[in-house]
Homo-oligomer: A and B are copies of this chain.
Amino acid sequence: MGIMTKNSATKGTTETTPYLLDQQIGFLLRRVQQRHLAIFFDHLPELTSTQFAALAKLCELGSVSQNELGRRVAMDVATIKGVVDRLRARDLAVTKKDPNDQRRLLVRPTKAGRAAFNHFSSAALGVTKETLDPLTQKEAERLLTLLSKLT
């Protein structure tokens, strides 16, 4: 009994690896994300990180269906709906039925939406910079490369 489990990387012996929460990738990811979100809120309390991401992609795409916008920013259909609702409530985006496909709900940034994105994008870049601040330039690049492989 106890917290030991078999270590499949060894053979011939019955070595074990304890489960140490603080060394698990999932726990680390969660804590780094927490720190990042805190930094985001410091720099940009007007929008959530999620809302800004959707707005950024929306400004990049111009006009796009709600579902596809969700795919582009890796958000569930239920999640992207809420995010778009909140962007609409803040007059940063508008929606209308796609005349060519009655299923689709086209989303488009408003003037104010584009203005907000332009206004806040340097702050958002500052968030990235501050998040990576404990690392050297090389380390930061290495981290982004490694994370990309885990997508």
Quick check: is A150 within 8 A (CB to CB) of the other chain? yes
Query: What 17 additional pairs, Cβ within 8 angstroms, besides A5-B122, A33-B33, A143-B150?
Result: A19-B56, A19-B125, A21-B53, A21-B57, A23-B144, A25-B128, A25-B131, A25-B143, A25-B144, A26-B49, A28-B147, A35-B150, A131-B150, A134-B149, A134-B150, A139-B146, A142-B146
Query: Could you tell me the distance in whole angstroms from the C-beta of A18 to the nearest C-beta in chain B?
Result: 8
Oligomeric state, in copies: 2
Closest A-B pairs by Cβ, 8 of them: A5-B122, A19-B121, A28-B147, A143-B146, A32-B150, A134-B149, A21-B56, A29-B33
Across-interface contacts of A1 in B (CB, < 8 A):
114, 118
Chain A interface residues (CB < 8 Å from chain B)? 1-3, 5-6, 17, 19, 21, 23-37, 40, 49, 53, 56-57, 59-60, 73-74, 114, 117-118, 121-122, 124-125, 127-128, 131-132, 134-135, 139, 142-144, 146-151
B30 touches A74 (CB 8 A): yes
